[in-house]
Structure 1
């Protein structure tokens, strides 16, 4: 998940080479030729991550990560025309009261707040309820033409969710989300969940990490780099001179962003 911000902040098909990627089977997949056709970004691929404000499509990078609900097919197509791959941000581990499908989530699966206004952890054990809801969200991403999915809030078992979630519950749910994305022909990234990377690296096509430098965790992403899969990384509080050298050595795709994830960025 996006790490909670301080309370004051809460006021608030292009060319593969251009996308710095390779087509290669995902190690944990059983979908044969479909895996070979999926986009998989390689280490060091530059990216832009914008989830708020008017979308700035002028950033000269091969990968954009944008909100799946807020942007339509035309936006994705325009980014494709500019030679970019586009990642669909959706929350899969937390409920958001501002989404158009919010009323479809029964109260029984809604847990404690996750530190962001209007958001509550989901009971990921209830896959009979959540699987069809998440399938609809990923259908939306596919229908809009996204190349990949960034599922957020994928480490509830490490947080105070209001449910007795275990590591096994999280592994089962994260693999379900990965399968739903792959079944729709899209790549999928593992968001944070560092402790389970060794078990999940074969199921995911890239990683998305927040603040691993601030917390001394960046080396834990190494299994993705060893598998020739990109690690898209952001810091919010450290200046670039504090982490970019290490990021380059580790081959992370790193940049400094503001907590609100608007268009501003300072890349390594």
Structure 2
């Protein structure tokens, strides 16, 4: 089988902004909670409450840098260090399960015990990204991590985002057996609670095998990279009632996603580096 391409580049992230007051009192569940509908462009129709993206909304994936979205776009995903787009449904990217390379010094200085280490005491690294994994293996570690990542999530809410995308739910697959799916799901639940308390919806990022469990824990929709390429879109669609933002990086995957899911899910073809419009290599197409 053809191997998956290297995951797209992510921009450098900074620590989150100060916390904001809670807007939603309880953790959302898959069936209920303080959610509202979005209008035909995917915009939040009830400010101050948690809104979900409309199924099939035209969206843009801008992790490589912000730019003015096309006029048809109703939802956009940007890094937490960037400003949201007024009038659109904005999803805030947060690297929740791994340490950004430029932030590793901060982690080593302030929270070295929260970095995952092997039997020799060496940090466990995601080699594709040169990112050290965060240690979600204990309840106390998860609680402390949730306070740090929760501050970033609160910063997304304060900036005006409607949702958060915590990345690297699948870090346990790169942990050399030191982490389990259960560890990461337990931490994900804490992040989801923090996001919901700040009035943000929560997107599951990849890891299709955990979609049913993530939905039960309170995740609201999905951001799925290459689900068309690997025939995984249906599992996300079933778990999240078609509220799935599909990002494809290869024409073959894009064609497959459009053919089977273009009438139901949000599908976009982007260049692997996610460069801003106007730069060399920029690609963006929709079904």
Structure 1 length as normaliser, TM-score?
Answer: 0.78
Structure 1 residue 123: deviation in Å? 1.4
C-alpha separation in 2, matches of 1:133 and 1:101? 15
> 1:213: which partner in 2?
228
> Secondary structure, in 3 states, of the residue corresponding to 2:224?
strand
2:155 alignment counterpart: 140
Matched, 1:57 2:68: yes
Give the Cα separation in 1 of the matches to 2:93 and 2:243: 17
2:267 to 246, 249, 254: 254
The alpha-carbon distance between structure 1 residues 109 and 162, as it changes in their structure 2 partners (threshold 3 A), is farther
Runs of 5+ consecutive residues of structure 1 not aligned to the other structure: 13-24
Question: Structure 1's 136 and 108: CA in aligned 2 closer, same or farther, altered over 3 A?
Answer: closer
Cα pair 1:93 1:153 within 8 Å, conserved: yes
Q: Distance in 2 between matches of 1:52 and 1:260?
A: 6
Q: 1:48 aligns with which of 36, 54, 60?
A: 60
Query: Quick check: 161-170 or 254-263, which moved more?
Result: 161-170
Could you tell me which runs of 5 or more consecutive residues in structure 2 were left unpaired when the two chains were aligned: 12-26, 37-48, 117-122, 277-282
Q: What secondary structure sits across from 1:64 in the alignment?
A: strand
3-state SS of 1:245 partner:
helix
- The CA RMSD measured in Å over matched residues stands at 2.7
Indicate whether 1:169 and 2:183 are aligned. Answer: yes
Aligned to 1:109: 115
Question: Counterparts of 1:56 and 1:210 in 2: how far apart (Å)?
Answer: 21
Q: Distance in 1 between matches of 2:101 and 2:135?
A: 16
Deviations 1:20-65 (A, max 9, x none): xxxxx943488x5x44531111221111111124x21132201110
- In the other structure, the counterpart of 2:193 is 179
> CA, structure 1 residues 130+187, in 2 after alignment: closer, same or farther (shift >3 Å)?
same
1:197–1:223 contact (8 Å) kept in structure 2: no
Structure 1 distance, partners of 2:197, 2:113, is: 28
User: Which deviates more, 94-103 or 190-199?
Assistant: 94-103
Q: 2:255 is matched with which residue: 238, 241, 245? A: 241
Q: Which residue of 1 aligns with 2:80?
A: 68
8 Å CA contact 1:189–1:207 kept in 2: the answer is yes
1:146/1:160 CA distance change after superposition, 3 Å: same
1:231 paired residue number? 244
Query: Could you say which residue in structure 2 is the equivalent of 1:96?
Result: 100
Whether the 8 Å contact between 2:220 and 2:240 is mirrored in structure 1 is no
The whole-number CA distance in structure 2 between the counterparts of 1:217 and 1:56 is 29
Name the SS of the counterpart of 2:251 in structure 1.
Answer: coil
8 Å Cα contact 1:4/1:114 also seen in 2: no
Aligned residue in 2 for 1:198? 212
CA distance, structure 1, for counterparts of residue 237 and residue 175 of structure 2 = 28
Shift of 1:129: 2.8
Q: Distance in 2 between matches of 1:265 and 1:219?
A: 23
| Residue 85 of structure 1 pairs with residue 99 of structure 2 | no
**CA distance in structure 1 between the partners assigned to 2:111 and 2:176 by the alignment:** 16
After superposition, the Cα gap between the structure-2 partners of 1:100 and 1:155, relative to the gap in structure 1 and judged at 3 Å, is closer
Q: CA offset at residue 144 of structure 1?
A: 1.2
